[in-house]
Homo-oligomer: A and B are copies of this chain.
Amino acid sequence: MRYELYYWPTIQGRGEYVRLALEDAGADYVDVARRSGGVGRMSKMMEAAKGTPPFAPPFLKAGKLVIGQTANILLYIGSRHGLAPKAEPQRLWVHQLQLTIADFVVEIHDTHHPLGPTLYFEDQRSAAKKRSGAFWDERVPKFLGYFERLIAGSGGPYVNGRRLCYVDLSLFQIVEGLRYAFPNNMKRFERKVPRVIEVRDRVAARPNINAYLTSERRIPFNEDGIFRHYKALDA
């Protein structure tokens, strides 16, 4: 079966956590909105009056099933493609970690949009500076420190032990994104989470991921996505 992924065509955004999983798994998929007419098709599916219209991208069409919400998509594809355990307790655990990453992603987005997603960055620059300060003082240590501790507790080298799961792919994306958006802060911080950085390195070295990252399918980071590089926010 060929999956259809629906996500904004010019950013990595939340869709990237799904792309990384599909790519690592070598799954057959089309990134619909990057094709001609695709954004229109995506909008139509969200506007559907009946059925299961998603609130927002990303969503995945798997046969007749339309699945929305990043972590929910990963829950669906994870155990089907060897990226998550099959037993329910472990499946829920890995999903729980992905939801914790989703919470972190919201806070990352809020560093440049603390006054909400509907105002431009330029109209909330001063609030964004305050929020970014608190983000690096309190929130990055709390979130990445948590994953560092989990990797140590699991015996490593991955968050769930010896086998990679989709959460590790997402951690890779978090490290890459923070390096892009906050190079100065991240440079100082990385030494505190060596196990997280090792996960990043192991993921980057995987053949399918390496092939993806060097392909045109990987959209470069830019200032419309979740991770944005604004010098004013990177002390």
Contacts and interface: CB of A to CB of B under 8 A. Distances in A.
Interface of A: 48-56, 65, 67-69, 71-72, 75-76, 89, 92-93, 95-96, 99-100, 103, 106-107, 110, 114-119, 124, 127, 130-131, 134-135, 137-139, 143, 146, 149-150, 152-153
Contacts of A150: 53
Max count, chain B CB within 10 A of own CB: residue among A95, A116, A127: A116
Given A49-B149, A146-B55, A89 B116 contact: no
9 contacts: A54-B96, A55-B143, A72-B99, A103-B106, A115-B130, A115-B134, A116-B134, A119-B134, A124-B130
Contact of A93 (B52, B134, B143): B52
A106 B114 CA distance: 12
A99 B75 CA distance: 13
Q: Looking at chain A's contact residues, is the secondary structure mostly helix, strand, loop, or mixed?
A: helix
Contact of A95 (B72, B89, B131, B149): B72
Q: Which residue among A69, A71, A146 has the maximum number of chain B CB atoms within 10 Å of its CB?
A: A69
A159 to B, nearest CB: 11
A171 to B, nearest CB: 14
A100 B52 contact: no
B99 A71 contact: yes
Nearest to A114: B114
A114 B110 CA distance: 8
A1 B18 CA distance: 36
A233 B35 CA distance: 43
A67 B51 contact: no
A100 B146 contact: no
B75 A92 contact: yes
Contacts of A143: 55
Contact of A100 (B69, B75, B110): B69
A89 B60 CA distance: 13
Contacts of A50: 153
A93 B93 CA distance: 20
